[in-house]
């Protein structure tokens, strides 16, 4: 078994709780309220800011041109398709400019931002990959639950978020990330433990991010 699968199995409890989270259930069946979706997307847009910077670090830290080009291609898609989804939803949900560019960050968004910026500052390719891999693979896993596109929710604000994480190109990117992560498995036990800890924290935060989006104390459902 490769390093990626080993770590996913090790942190299966948080992984499976995130993939099967009630937030995902509601997104997949189209019952997610606009209030909850709005709250989630405002925070996730800030996640995407640090995530985009981390992809840039991956371009810089990758060991070869072929790998750099993969990250560069994903960066391009992120800047177009994914950003368009956010802007369309923000327009539909009436999100003001201040909440698009500089909202108050929830604690979990701040923690995720810190994790990504610390991986970025480390310039360590395995650490950068660990965060990218968790974020993309876990999203691919929940989106795979959507099954046949004919059964996806009707509203684009729901179905597009599924499509962005469930399509052949996205699946190939996740598989590539997994192989790349396996290929740079650290030989040194200390580095291996550090990368494993980065992976564990990313999985924990993915689960907490969905928890925060459903936190009943924040919004009427
Ligand atoms: C919190 C989170 N994790 C992962 C993804 C997928 N890029 C995302 N948009 N948001």
* Residue nearest ligand 1's atom 5 by CA: 135
Please tell me whether residue 166 adopts helix, strand or coil conformation: coil
Query: Quick one: average pLDDT of 158-176?
Result: 98
How distant, in Å, are the alpha carbons of 33, 81, 137, 150 from that of 29? 11, 23, 21, 12
Query: Quick one: average pLDDT of 36-63?
Result: 96
% of the chain surpassing 90 pLDDT: 94
Which atom, in ligand 1's list, is nearest to the CA of 209? 1
Q: For residue 218, what pLDDT is reported? A: 64
State the distance from the centre of ligand 1 to the C-alpha of 139, rounded, in angstroms: 7
User: What one-character-per-residue DSSP string does 67-83 give?
Assistant: HHHHHHHHHHHIIIIIH
% of the chain surpassing 70 pLDDT: 98
How distant, in Å, are the alpha carbons of 64, 132, 141, 145, 181 from that of 175? 18, 12, 12, 17, 10
Q: Is 53 exposed, middle or buried (0-12, 13-18, 19+ CB in 10 A)?
A: middle
State the distance from the centre of ligand 1 to the C-alpha of 70, rounded, in angstroms: 18
State the distance from the centre of ligand 1 to the C-alpha of 136, rounded, in angstroms: 7
CB proximity list for 55: less than 8 A, separation 6 or greater: 71, 74, 75, 78, 132
Q: For residue 1, what pLDDT is reported? A: 86
Query: Quick one: average pLDDT of 146-152?
Result: 96
Check if 206 has its Cβ closer than 6 Å to any atom of ligand 1: yes
Check if 23 has its Cβ closer than 6 Å to any atom of ligand 1: no
Query: Quick one: average pLDDT of 35-52?
Result: 96
Please tell me whether residue 215 adopts helix, strand or coil conformation: coil
How distant, in Å, are the alpha carbons of 44, 77, 143, 144, 159 from that of 148? 26, 24, 11, 9, 12
Q: For residue 220, what pLDDT is reported? A: 46
Query: What confidence tens digit (pLDDT) does each residue in 7-42 have?
Result: 999 999 999 999 999 999 999 999 999 999 999 999
Check if 44 has its Cβ closer than 6 Å to any atom of ligand 1: yes
Question: What token pair was written down for 29?
Answer: 């069946």
Query: What confidence tens digit (pLDDT) does each residue in 71-129 have?
Result: 999 999 888 889 999 999 999 999 999 999 999 999 999 999 999 999 999 999 999 99
Which atom, in ligand 1's list, is nearest to the CA of 44? 10
Q: For residue 78, what pLDDT is reported? A: 85
CATH, range 3-214: 1.20.910.10
CB proximity list for 172: less than 8 A, separation 6 or greater: none
d(CA 216, CA 221) in angstroms, rounded, equals 7
Q: What is the ipTM of this complex?
A: 0.98
Q: Quick check: 59 and 72 in contact, CB under 8 A?
A: yes
State the distance from the centre of ligand 1 to the C-alpha of 174, rounded, in angstroms: 13
* Residue nearest ligand 1's atom 4 by CA: 135
Average pLDDT taken over every residue of the chain: 96
């Amino acid at each position: 078994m490769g390093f990626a699968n080993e770590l996913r199995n090790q942190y299966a409890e948080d992984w499976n709780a995130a993939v099967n989270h009630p937030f995902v259930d509601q997104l997949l069946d189209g019952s997610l309220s606009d209030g909850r979706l709005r709250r989630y997307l405002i925070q996730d847009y800030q996640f995407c800011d640090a995530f985009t910077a981390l992809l840039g670090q991956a371009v810089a830290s990758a060991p070869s041109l072929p790998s750099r080009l993969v990250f560069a291609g994903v960066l391009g898609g992120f800047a177009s398709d994914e950003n368009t989804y956010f802007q369309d939803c923000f327009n539909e949900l009436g999100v003001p400019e201040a909440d698009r560019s500089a909202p108050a960050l929830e604690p979990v968004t701040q923690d995720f931002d810190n994790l990504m910026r610390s991986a970025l500052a480390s310039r360590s390719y395995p650490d950068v990959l660990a965060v990218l891999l968790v974020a993309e693979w876990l999203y691919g896993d929940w989106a795979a639950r959507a099954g046949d596109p004919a059964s996806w929710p009707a509203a684009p604000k729901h179905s597009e978020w599924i499509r962005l994480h469930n399509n052949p190109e996205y699946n190939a990117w996740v598989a590539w990330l997994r192989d790349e992560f396996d290929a740079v498995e650290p030989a040194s036990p200390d580095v291996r433990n550090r990368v494993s800890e980065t992976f564990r924290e990313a999985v924990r935060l993915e689960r907490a991010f969905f928890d925060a989006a459903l936190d009943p104390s924040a919004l009427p459902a």
